Structure 1
Amino acid sequence: MHTELTSAEACEALGVHPSTLSRWVQNGRIIPARKLPGLRGPFLFPPSEIKRLKAELARDARTAGRSRKAASA
C-alpha cells in the first residue's frame, strides 16, 4: 500500500480537473512529493499536501461567499 496519492487520486480528493492540478503544480500552489518516470509521468502527492490544499480551498470558498454577500448589501 502506498501513502502518496497519484495525480488522479489527488484530483478526485480535491474535486478538480487534471488540468487544474497541473496548473497548480506549475504555479507552486501544490508541491508534489515526486514525479514518476517518463515525459508525461504522473506526480505523486503526500497526503499532508492534499489536506493542506483542501483546507485552503475551503477557506477560500468561505471567504468568497462572504464577500459576495457584502458586495450585494
Structure 2
Amino acid sequence: MVQSQELEVLHPKLLADVEGLRGQKERLTLSAMAERGNLVEGQLYTTNVQEVAKTLQSVSKPRGD
C-alpha cells in the first residue's frame, strides 16, 4: 500500500503528466497502445504515423476515382 507521504509526492507529478498530455492526442494514443501491449515502445510512434498517413490518403482521394 502506498503511504500518504508518497501520495503527496506522486500527486503533483501525476497532475503535471496529465497537463502535459492535454491537447497531445498522439501521446494519448501511444499510451493506450502501450497499455494494451500491442507494440514495443520503439515502434509506437512510427506505426502511429503510418496509420495516420494511410487514413489521410484514403480520406483525401478525389471522389471521381
State the TM-score, normalizing by the size of structure 2.
0.37
Q: Which one has more relative contact order, counting CA pairs under 8 Å at least 6 apart?
A: 1
| Structure whose residues are more often helix by fraction | 2
Higher Rg of the two aligned structures: 2
| Structure whose residues are more often strand by fraction | 1
State the TM-score, normalizing by the size of structure 1.
0.34
